[in-house]
């Protein structure tokens, strides 16, 4: 069964309490767009306040630690995120992989920890410009994803309805260089084939694969019409309700009210 498009805002390290008004506006606008599922991942400090106020949109985090607890100064566990009201966590974002040296093995440990804590996950993958130039992007993305998902087949089967994949080519993030529709189609179809391999036809066919990288209201409609694109993970354009909901509107018609 085709699922609703999933439009997720990754606020990255942006947002103080002054941004709560944008979150409120996003939540109100989402109530008129029920054919689209809308969520935001603010910085940790805004998870609980947004969770308390939001009537419809889900709130999530941008990372978690792989351990359940302990002497890890500055870190946050998946259970703490759930306790603060997070329903999901973004894992393996390239800004974590590159900026914080996160390996596939570490991302795998985090996906296992988050799923064990009952959270949904958005697992990111994507090649850099050099890998793309060498023509190795598809192979790289498949290997990266396979090594970042939980290792156990039983764990995978149990969790498929809580796993979303996000394809975010690094060269398209925050650059204004959106991937071409052909690029997106090629990677999403390769990811779909991998999911079907790992999860079987039914579960693997149903999982959503988001595209991320310079998505804006102007290009969201055409990107979301590409086969196997089930939504968007949006950075810069998710920071105001106007542009973020412009993306949601480009994807789903408003309900008749
Ligand atoms: P931009 O939409 O700013 O390119 O960021 C994409 C991204 O990294 C979302 O996770």
Q: Give pLDDT tens digits for 227-250.
A: 999 999 999 999 999 999 999 999
What is each CA distance from 44 to 62, 96, 110, 135, in whole angstroms? 8, 15, 16, 37
- 1 is a domain residue: no
pLDDT range class, residue 257, cuts 50, 70, 90: very low
pLDDT value of position 253: 64
pLDDT value of position 82: 98
**What is the residue range of 105's domain?**
6-185+194-236
DSSP tag of 85: T
- Report helix, strand or coil for 238: helix
Would you say residue 202 has pLDDT above 70?
yes
The rounded Å distance from CA 221 to ligand 1 centre is 17
- 255 is a domain residue: no
Backbone torsion region of residue 183, taken as left when φ is above 0, otherwise alpha when ψ lies between -120 and 50, otherwise beta? alpha
Pocket of ligand 1 (CB under 6 A): 10, 93, 168, 173-174, 212-215, 233-237
168 an active-site residue?
yes
Would you say residue 256 has pLDDT above 60?
no
Strand partners, 256: none
H-run or E-run covering 109: helix 104-116
pLDDT value of position 154: 82
Q: What is the pLDDT of residues 22-65, one digit of tens each?
A: 999 999 999 999 899 999 999 999 999 999 999 999 999 999 99
- 243 is a domain residue: no
Q: Considering all CA atoms of the chain, what is the largest pairwise distance in Å, rounded to the nearest integer?
A: 52
- 256 is a domain residue: no
pLDDT value of position 165: 98
Least confident of 37-51, 99-113, 141-155, 228-242: 141-155
98 an active-site residue?
no
- 116 is a domain residue: yes
The rounded Å distance from CA 140 to ligand 1 centre is 20
Query: Which domain CATH number covers 87?
Result: 3.20.20.70
The b/e string for 61-93 (b: 16+ C-beta within 10 A; e otherwise) is bbbbbbeeeeeeeeebbbbbbbebbbbbbbbbb
Residue that wins the pLDDT comparison between 95 and 254: 95
Q: CA 63 to CA 42: how far, in whole Å?
A: 11
Q: Which residues 6+ apart lie within 8 Å of 212 measured at CB?
A: 10, 124, 126, 166, 167, 168, 172, 173, 232, 233, 234, 235
Using most ligand atoms within 8 A of CB, pick from 92, 169, 236, 247 the residue to mutate for ligand 1.
236
Would you say residue 254 has pLDDT above 90?
no
Q: CA 121 to CA 107: how far, in whole Å?
A: 11
Would you say residue 146 has pLDDT above 60?
yes
- 247 is a domain residue: no
Atom of ligand 1 nearest to the CA of 214: 4
Backbone torsion region of residue 149, taken as left when φ is above 0, otherwise alpha when ψ lies between -120 and 50, otherwise beta? beta
Q: What angle do CA 132, 247, 92 make, to 5 degrees?
A: 45
Number of domains in the chain: 1
pLDDT value of position 45: 98
Average pLDDT, the chain: 95
Would you say residue 5 has pLDDT above 60?
yes
pLDDT value of position 71: 98
- 56 is a domain residue: yes
Residue 36's nearest CA partner among 249, 256, 221 is 249
Q: Which residues 6+ apart lie within 8 Å of 204 measured at CB?
A: 160, 192, 195, 196, 197, 198
Q: CA 237 to CA 169: how far, in whole Å?
A: 17
- 35 is a domain residue: yes
Q: CA 121 to CA 86: how far, in whole Å?
A: 11
Q: What is the pLDDT of residues 178-195, one digit of tens each?
A: 889 999 999 999 999 999
């Amino acid at each position: 069964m085709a699922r609703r498009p999933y439009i997720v805002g990754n606020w990255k390290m942006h947002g103080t309490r002054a941004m709560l008004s944008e979150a409120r506006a996003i939540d109100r606008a989402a109530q008129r767009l029920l054919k689209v599922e809308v969520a935001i991942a603010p910085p940790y400090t805004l998870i609980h306040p947004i969770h308390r106020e939001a009537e419809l949109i889900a709130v999530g985090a941008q990372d978690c630690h792989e351990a359940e607890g302990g002497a890890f100064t500055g870190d946050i566990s998946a259970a703490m995120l759930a306790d603060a009201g997070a329903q999901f966590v973004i894992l393996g974002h390239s800004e974590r992989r590159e900026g914080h040296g996160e390996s596939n093995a570490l991302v795998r440990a985090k996906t296992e920890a988050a799923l064990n804590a009952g959270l949904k996950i958005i697992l990111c993958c994507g090649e850099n410009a050099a890998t793309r130039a060498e023509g190795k992007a598809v192979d790289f993305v498949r290997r990266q994803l396979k090594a970042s998902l939980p290792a156990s087949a039983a764990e995978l089967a149990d969790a498929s309805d809580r796993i979303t994949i996000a394809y975010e080519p690094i060269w398209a993030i925050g650059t204004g260089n959106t991937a071409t529709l052909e690029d997106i189609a090629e990677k999403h179809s390769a990811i779909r084939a991998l999911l079907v391999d790992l999860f079987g036809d039914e579960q693997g066919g149903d999982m959503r694969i988001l595209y991320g990288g310079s998505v804006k209201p102007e290009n969201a409609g055409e990107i979301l019409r590409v086969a196997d694109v089930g939504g968007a993970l949006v950075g810069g354009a998710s920071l105001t309700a106007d542009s973020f909901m412009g993306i949601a509107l480009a994807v789903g018609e408003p309900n008749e009210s």
